[in-house]
Structures are given as structure tokens and as C-alpha cells.
Structure 1
Amino acid sequence: MARCFACLTGAAVVATAAPAHAGDMLQLAPSSKWHVNYADDSCRLARSFGTGNDQVVLVLDRFRPGQIVHMTLTGRPMTVHSDIRRITLRFGPDDPAFEKGFTPGTLDDGKAALVLTGGLWIAGYNPALAADEESEGPRRHQAVDPALYERIRFLDLQIPGKQAIRLETGSMASAEKILAACTDDLLRGWGIDAAAHKSLSRRVAPVGSPGDWMNRKDYPREMLRGRYQGLVHFRLIVDEQGKPRSCHIQQSTRPKEFDDAVCKGMMTRAQFEPALDAAGKPVASYYVNRVRFKI
């Protein structure tokens, strides 16, 4: 069996309504506003749907400008007993359904949580473009027509063997505007020109393969001995010469030994072609990715 030791890889309040069962689908109306959390390294939006044992909380995290969000779903309806780790999603009537993997977990209050694997778009979903943004490739961020967010009316969720769920989100236009404003503030907080980044002629581009920046020797010895695994999202500030200036952990499953190993490896081995502004001048920028420690 192959082993991978260190793999780089404001809306209005809506009145609460009782859940509606349309055929085999559980339909949940909003039971809270969108709540936003401006953190140093991320922007988070969260909203509750349904009440009691039917309540589901939708959490969207964005770690940098662009269309990509990371999704977490919590609540008892998210309990999974089978070994299948795939979920099918569809944002509104205009977008196609698509599959994502997930990692199940449990909150302190005993409710289930599903953390979806990787990032996704919430409008105008395009697997090829989404994959390019997720990998922090050299393309510019792909713009999405705001009208697509406006036309969203629901989020459908289907896990094999479980009842389908529809979260009645309504338009996602205001939610996307909140996230976009928050990520501009993130850049300014990182010391980066947010306006210049809207018209880059080239994004930060890795020199060589990012997969070579971490290897088996970077797996913390105590964590390997204890067979601990981890997933670490990190951010590097990359200067005008393409050198990493600082490393920040954006999200991590911990323990801290994994975080320290990631930043040590990145600051030692990561190399880049610097970002270029609209006139072709090198500018300070950032690079985000994640490292999975797996036995």
C-alpha cells in the first residue's frame, strides 16, 4: 500500500419555518442571518438552516481573494455511518451537480460535522478552472458573473444512502460581496496592494514542483511514532524577488508539530517567480497551499 508521508497538495433575517419534506428531500429554511467573521488569515460566513434535530449550519471559509471557498456542514442530519465519503452538491437551478469528498467529524456538543475536501466555487462551477485556482497556478483569478450568485436559490446536498437535503439559501449575491470585501481587507492586512492584485499580469508561480518542498524526513518524529496524521493550510508572503518572506498557518488540524514542520520546509525550499503587476513590474504577493501528513 502506497504511503504519503508529507503531501503538498449581509442578508435580511428570514423567519424560521418548519422543515418541509418534498418526496425524499428535507427542505430547510434559514433560521439565522449570515454571520461573518474577519480573522487574520481567513474570512468566514456561516448560516443556520432548520431547527432542532433538523438544523444544519453551512460554513464557508475563504483564505485568499478569488472564487474558491472551503465548506463545512454541521448538524445531526450530517451524521454518516457508512464508509462512503462522497457528497453531491448543486447550487441553485442553473449550476450542474458535482461531487466532492469529505472528512467526517464530531463537534463538542455531539453534532456531526463534514469538512469537504479542497475548495469549490459557489456559482458558475467549472471543475477545470476551480482546480487551477485551488492549486494557485499562474493564471489570473477567473471572474464569475455576479448574476450567477443572484440566481442561486438553494443548495442541494446528497450523500449516498441518506435523505437528500435542500438548504433554502436564496440569492448568494450579498454573501459573495461580503466575502470579496473581507478578502480585500485580508490583503491589506498582509501588507499587499489589493488594488494591484485585481489586475496582475502574472500571479506568483512556483519554481519546480511544490511536491518536492516536503518529504518523509519532514514528518515530525513523535507524530510518526504515534501514527498521528494532519492537514495544514499555509500562506507564504512572497517578495519582489520571488523569495518567501514569512509563513503563516491559516488552518490546521494540529498538533503544532505539523505546523512547525510545514513552515520550516516552506521557508527552506520554496522558490517562486514573483507576481507581476499590470505593467509587468514585480510586486509582493502571496501563495497558499496545504500539506497533508498521512501514514
Structure 2
Amino acid sequence: MIWILALLAAPSAPAELAPAGPWAVSTEEVGCRVIRPYGPDNAVEVGFETIVTSRRRTLLLAAPKRSLPDAIGETRVSLGGGEDLRLNYGAFAMRDSGRRLLKLFPDEGALRQLSDATSMKVGKADAPTLKMTGTAAALQALDTCTTELLQSWGADPQLYLQNRMAGIIGSTAAPFTRETYPAEARTAGVSGRVVLLLHTKVDGSVARCTVVASADERLNAGSCAVAVSRVRMKPPLDAQGKPMESYGVLPVNWSNP
């Protein structure tokens, strides 16, 4: 009898949490996000993110700290139908001190499983189970946003996404010196970080430079001028070992002398 009463008194599993709104797509500085709120107070959010400069899609989960792991590591993602994924993650603080943001890194196979899943549970045993609907359409919207962002930079989306990235030859910082500091920025005492998208030809020269993120617009023209004239890239090779036209991403940190 005591055993039966103990079973009756045991806490029940958390109910499946339903979406509180539609998927919403937004353009970030160097990527796109699609986010959906859950629960009556929107305390849980699920989403996907593309950071175009790294060409990977990330699963996002914002939820109360008590239900999510912290730091970095690997965690289980339980999907409807008894499927489980093991995904690497990084945990990040949020302005809302009661919540934590988890960024999980699925490969293409895991993304397909997430796309088909009817529910998802991440992290600790008391974490909520989330009802998943419209995920395939959300990922398609994310891809469309990414394509449009690349086009806004003047990049060829197919070339960018299909070919491997070109790498810089030599030190990243070597071309960006006191002597090549953008004159207008130097005069104004401006420092900061600029992220450049470099369209690389098969010979490793830079055909075109686009600023995709910048601390100050007075750094932009000078940064691209240095990249086009002084940076050499190592283009990726095709299946026959021949160099391919591609893109490379180059972050530049200017510190006013």
C-alpha cells in the first residue's frame, strides 16, 4: 500500500509545451535567424541560425537556466518517436538573468531528423518537451534569408555555399599595419573590427571585397583597398585537384596607433 501511494504521489512528467506564435525570420549582422516562442509567458524559445561567414546552421534554445546544461559539452536531444541525438553545444548568458541560451551544432543528417520531428526535449530530465511543427518550412525560410543576404553583399549564393572557403596565405594581420591604416579612421582616432568577404579568383588574387560587418564605416574603404592589393588567398581545389573560384572571410582588427 505504501508503494502504491508513493507512485500516486510521484510528480508527473511535464506536459508537452505548445508554440505560442509562428516562426519569425530576422536578418542579423552576418546571418539569419528563425525563432518561435513557447509557453504562456514566452519563457522558452526555439530557433535556427545561419552564420553566413561560417556556413553552418545552429539549433538555438533559450529556456530557464534550471532546465539546461551550462558551459560547453555534449547533450542528448530526444525527438518524438523514440529517436535520440547527441549534439555538441555551447551555453551563453542572456540579458534575462533567469534564462540561458544554448547553441547546438547539428550536422545535415541531424537537421533532417529535427525537420521531421514532432517533438523535442533538450537537456535535463525536468526540461519541457516542445511540440515541433512547421520546422521544415522554417529551415527553408532560413535558407531563403541566407540567399538574399548573400545577394545583398553582391555574392553568388550557389558559388558561396557549394564551394569550400578560400584561406588566407600567411598571417591574417600582416597586410593591415600602421602604414596601411585607413587615413580617415586614423585622423578621427577610430579603431575596431571589420569583417570582409573576399571573392577569390583561381590564382589566389582578390577580385572583389565586400564589408559585411564593421565597427565604423570610416574603416571600410581602406580595409578593402588593402585586401585587394595585398592579400593573397589559397583557393580550394576541385575533385581533379584544380583551384576553384571561391570566397573567403577575413576579420580585421584595427587599433589606432
TM range (shorter): 0.5 to 0.7
From 62, 82, 106, the counterpart of 1:121: 106
Using the TM superposition, give the Cα deviation of residue 70 of structure 1 relative to its aligned residue in structure 2, in angstroms: 3.3
Query: 1:204: which partner in 2?
Result: 165
Query: 2:48: which partner in 1?
Result: 60
For residues 167 and 89 of structure 1, do their structure 2 counterparts lie closer, same or farther at Cα, with a shift above 3 Å needed?
farther
From 21, 27, 45, the counterpart of 2:34: 45
Number of residues of Structure 1 aligned to a counterpart in Structure 2: 216
Q: Say if 2:77 and 2:123, in contact at 8 Å, map to a contact too.
A: no
Q: Say if 1:242 and 1:273, in contact at 8 Å, map to a contact too.
A: yes
Give deviations 1:90-127, integer Å, cap 9, x for gaps.
262445222312122324xx5523253xx6227523xx
Using the TM superposition, give the Cα deviation of residue 36 of structure 1 relative to its aligned residue in structure 2, in angstroms: 0.7
For residues 199 and 43 of structure 1, do their structure 2 counterparts lie closer, same or farther at Cα, with a shift above 3 Å needed?
closer
Q: Distance in 2 between matches of 1:81 and 1:184?
A: 32
1:104 aligned to 2:93? yes
Greater RCO (CA < 8 Å, at least 6 residues apart)? 1
Query: 1:274: which partner in 2?
Result: 235
**TM-score, with structure 1 as normaliser:** 0.54
CA-based RMSD of the aligned residues comes to 4.6
Q: Distance in 1 between matches of 2:132 and 2:68?
A: 27
Q: Distance in 1 between matches of 2:120 and 2:230?
A: 41
- Unaligned segments of structure 1, at least 5 residues: 1-20, 126-143, 219-231
* Higher Cα Rg, which structure: 2
Using the TM superposition, give the Cα deviation of residue 47 of structure 1 relative to its aligned residue in structure 2, in angstroms: 0.2
For residues 290 and 188 of structure 1, do their structure 2 counterparts lie closer, same or farther at Cα, with a shift above 3 Å needed?
same
Alignment map for 1:142-157 (pairs within 5 Å): 148-157=113-122
Q: Say if 2:237 and 2:244, in contact at 8 Å, map to a contact too.
A: yes
Q: Say if 1:149 and 1:176, in contact at 8 Å, map to a contact too.
A: no
Q: Distance in 2 between matches of 1:206 and 1:276?
A: 12
Report the identity percentage.
Answer: 21
For residues 149 and 157 of structure 1, do their structure 2 counterparts lie closer, same or farther at Cα, with a shift above 3 Å needed?
closer
For residues 90 and 288 of structure 1, do their structure 2 counterparts lie closer, same or farther at Cα, with a shift above 3 Å needed?
farther
For residues 26 and 81 of structure 1, do their structure 2 counterparts lie closer, same or farther at Cα, with a shift above 3 Å needed?
same
Q: Say if 2:44 and 2:62, in contact at 8 Å, map to a contact too.
A: yes
For residues 270 and 156 of structure 1, do their structure 2 counterparts lie closer, same or farther at Cα, with a shift above 3 Å needed?
farther
| Secondary structure, aligned partner of 1:96 | strand
Q: Distance in 2 between matches of 1:282 and 1:47?
A: 39
**TM-score, with structure 2 as normaliser:** 0.60
From 90, 95, 101, the counterpart of 2:77: 90
| Secondary structure, aligned partner of 2:94 | strand
Q: Say if 1:42 and 1:186, in contact at 8 Å, map to a contact too.
A: yes
For residues 38 and 65 of structure 1, do their structure 2 counterparts lie closer, same or farther at Cα, with a shift above 3 Å needed?
same
